[in-house]
Amino acid sequence: MPAQPDQGPVIREAGPDEDLELFAAIRLAASPRDWPGPPRREPGRLMLLCDDVACALAGRSGLADSVTVQVYVEPASRGAGIGQALWERLVDHARTLGRPSLFSTVDAESPEGVAFAQHRGLVEVGREVEARRRIGDEPMPAPLPGIDVVTIAERPDLLEAVWLAIGADGYADIPSPSELAMTLQDWLDEEAAVPEGSFVAFEGDRIVGYAGMLEDEHGLTTVARSHRGRGLATYLKRRQLAWASSAGVAELVSYTQGINDPMQRVNEKLGYEIAPPWLKMKGPIPR
């Protein structure tokens, strides 16, 4: 067979698990503060690899109107059109998902990444801020007068009641670029993955606060609208720190939205280290 002419970089769909490991390695080389593990397979999610230098994905976002698109090209291979080639494949795929917008999360510390997204019609619509806290010897906080606390481990039945009482309101009040597509079923599937570290606050028989724990990461913290500004979130997070200390958790991470998020002030007060933000960028799917 005659030798094939050099066709340039070859883009292919990620297949077996080794491909997902390769995807993770490329993503980390291109975007060092990103999630280090392999991406999950999800229905409708396209994952692409370009040799061993670039990768990209497109799939339904947690924002009901958007398709998430992410492109990663390792530094030595940039500026040669690989990012653009992957982008075109992602946009073609996004058109098949029946949603009007593209959404991408970009490291604010990466001027190339921000410019790439801006040049393709995406604008900043919000920020996500990561806060980390090493866990040492964390004291149990003094009780809050009039407030009783139970864990989801003690009362698993409460998770649904928390959603109905304050969880849905809590999500609605998170400063976000558009409506978060969170349902009761998602909540039951994802929240309080670590039930011993997930605390519910009662005033009498009324649920007034909740602080959830996922694997080594805070879940939703939310307080009834009527009970905000009284230190309840700070108290529940102190309970979580005390729990983490007794459970031997080395570090906790918390993600909050935007610069004026009250949750971020609570985290700062509790000694969390705040990292540079991730930009949430959004724009129309080109027709």
Ligand X SMILES: CC(C)(COP(=O)(O)OP(=O)(O)OC[C@H]1O[C@@H](n2cnc3c(N)ncnc32)[C@H](O)[C@@H]1OP(=O)(O)O)[C@@H](O)C(=O)NCCC(=O)NCCS
> Where do contacts with ligand X occur on this chain (CB under 6 A)?
30-31, 70-73, 78-84, 104, 106-107, 110, 112-113, 115-117, 119
Do 136 and 103 contact (CB within 8 A), yes or no? no
Q: Least separation, in Å, of the C-beta of 118 and ligand X?
A: 8
User: Which residue number, 25 or 214, has a Cβ lying nearer to ligand X?
Assistant: 25
User: Which residue number, 86 or 166, has a Cβ lying nearer to ligand X?
Assistant: 86
Residue nearest to ligand X (CB): 113
- Phi-psi category of 204—alpha, beta or left, where left has phi over 0 and alpha has psi -120 to 50? left
Q: Least separation, in Å, of the C-beta of 110 and ligand X?
A: 5
User: Which residue number, 70 or 240, has a Cβ lying nearer to ligand X?
Assistant: 70
Cα–Cα dist 63/143, whole Å? 38
Q: Least separation, in Å, of the C-beta of 124 and ligand X?
A: 12
Dihedrals phi, psi of 99, to nearest 5 degrees: -125, 150
Query: Rg for the chain (alpha carbons), in Å?
Result: 21
Dihedrals phi, psi of 100, to nearest 5 degrees: -85, -20
* ∠ CA 198-200-202, rounded to 5°: 170
User: Which residue number, 113 or 170, has a Cβ lying nearer to ligand X?
Assistant: 113
Task: Give the type of residue at 57.
Answer: L
Q: Least separation, in Å, of the C-beta of 11 and ligand X?
A: 12
User: Which residue number, 107 or 191, has a Cβ lying nearer to ligand X?
Assistant: 107
Q: Least separation, in Å, of the C-beta of 65 and ligand X?
A: 18
